Amino acid sequence: QVQLVESGGGLVQAGGSLRLSCATSVRTFSTPAMGWFRQAPGKEREFVAAIRIGGSTYYADSAKGRFTISRDNAKNTVYLQMNSLKPDDTGVYYCAATRNPLRIGDIQMYNYWGQGTQVTVSS
């Protein structure tokens, strides 16, 4: 059974930081890439960042320079460190895994999803 469990969301003031975690099974963690997506109220889910099993990363323009995705192979966990948060970063953040190693920024390529964790940034 594929399971991805996000944690670390919360309420933070603009300019603050949060670190999201996504714990998963060995099997899911071994997929070619894992990513983070977010969905703001009334908007479509969008790509934030992704990391391949080899460690290469890819970011949405909105995340570059502020967010860092990483993985801990010993813990089967992927992280998203978010700094300099803005109110526009508010939303539900989802962890996902894909069997496709190429189009890791494409939401359609992701096969497995977590339940999400709420991030709220106040102004």
Residues of the chain with pLDDT under 50: none
Please report, as a single letter, which amino acid is at residue 26. V
Task: Residue 105: count other Cβ atoms within 10 Å of its Cβ.
Answer: 16
Biggest distance spanned by C-alpha atoms of the chain:
40
Spatial CA neighbour of 77 closest among 39, 114, 109, 48: 114
For residue 83, the 8-state DSSP code is -
Burial tier of 58 (Cβ tally within 10 Å: 0-12, 13-18, 19+): middle
Give the pLDDT of residue 30: 83
Q: How far apart are alpha carbons 62 and 31 in whole angstroms? A: 25
Give the pLDDT of residue 1: 66
